[in-house]
């Protein structure tokens, strides 16, 4: 059977995309270079195949066009976690494609921090790991997919996340691969599962999204 425009009809996909911004003061934040392109490409691909997509998006400059994509816009990791947690119970498929900041400032200044001296120390505290937290509450029959962007020990780190976060598959990309990761329209991924590894060549992110969605469909319907 091939994946068609009705393959995911009746399925609800909860998907995160983009970065999170963790405020330091009213004008500064901790963030990353995620554009949200990979997550939005996945949302479009699922929607084109019949799914109802709940997209929780960090701050990005792109928009979702398909009528079956409902976007919840958030800024911080805490906001993203709250939004995903609210929607997770109704999800058939959970895809954690967002680049969530690992840490946030312990104290957020209510006024702009003025320059003073040659150094500034900001104490950081760990953000909630959204995929890990929701992995502990995963329902029977839910299919969950994580993402891992690595710079070293790529496969070992990804496999550890797969197990610890109770994921069914994890999409690994390495910043060591030219054209992969942030700020590109392309990506090169390896999809790791408990008993399988599937590597793909460098492709446009829209094509990468199709590869990921097709493999999810195969696993769900296998």
Residue with tokens 């997770």: 88
pLDDT score for 55:
98
The Cα–Cα gap between 206 and 208 comes to: 5
pLDDT score for 5:
80
| Marked catalytic residue, from 32, 70, 166, 214 | 32
What value, to the nearest 5°, has the Cα angle with vertex 33 and ends 30 and 35? 120
pLDDT score for 175:
73
The ranges of the chain with pLDDT < 70 are 1, 179-183
The domains located in the chain, with CATH, are 12-107+124-221 (3.40.50.10300)
187 catalytically annotated: no
Helical segments of the chain, H only = 37-48, 77-88, 130-135, 154-164, 205-221
Number of H helices, E strands in the chain: 5, 14
pLDDT score for 107:
97
pLDDT score for 151:
74
pLDDT score for 110:
95
């Amino acid at each position: 059977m091939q994946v068609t425009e009705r393959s995911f009809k009746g399925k609800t996909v909860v998907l995160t995309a983009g970065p999170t911004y963790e405020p330091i003061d009213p004008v500064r934040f901790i963030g990353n270079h995620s554009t949200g392109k990979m997550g939005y490409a996945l949302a479009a691909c699922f929607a084109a195949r019949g799914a109802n997509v709940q997209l929780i998006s960090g701050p990005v400059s792109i928009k979702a066009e398909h009528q079956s994509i409902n976007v919840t816009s958030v800024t911080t990791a805490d906001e993203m976690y709250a939004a995903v947690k609210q929607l997770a119970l109704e999800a058939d498929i959970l895809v954690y494609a967002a680049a969530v900041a690992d840490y946030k400032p312990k104290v957020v200044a209510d006024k702009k921090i003025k320059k003073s001296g040659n150094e500034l120390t900001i104490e950081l505290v760990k953000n909630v790991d959204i995929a890990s937290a929701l992995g502990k509450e995963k329902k029977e029959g839910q299919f969950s997919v994580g993402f891992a962007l690595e710079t070293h020990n790529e496969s070992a780190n990804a496999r550890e996340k797969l197990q610890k976060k109770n994921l069914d598959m994890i999409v690994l990309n390495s910043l060591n691969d030219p054209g992969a990761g942030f700020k590109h329209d392309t990506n090169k991924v390896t999809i790791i599962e408990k008993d399988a590894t599937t590597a793909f060549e460098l492709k446009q992110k829209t094509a990468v999204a199709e590869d990921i969605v097709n493999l999810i469909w195969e696993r769900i319907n296998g």
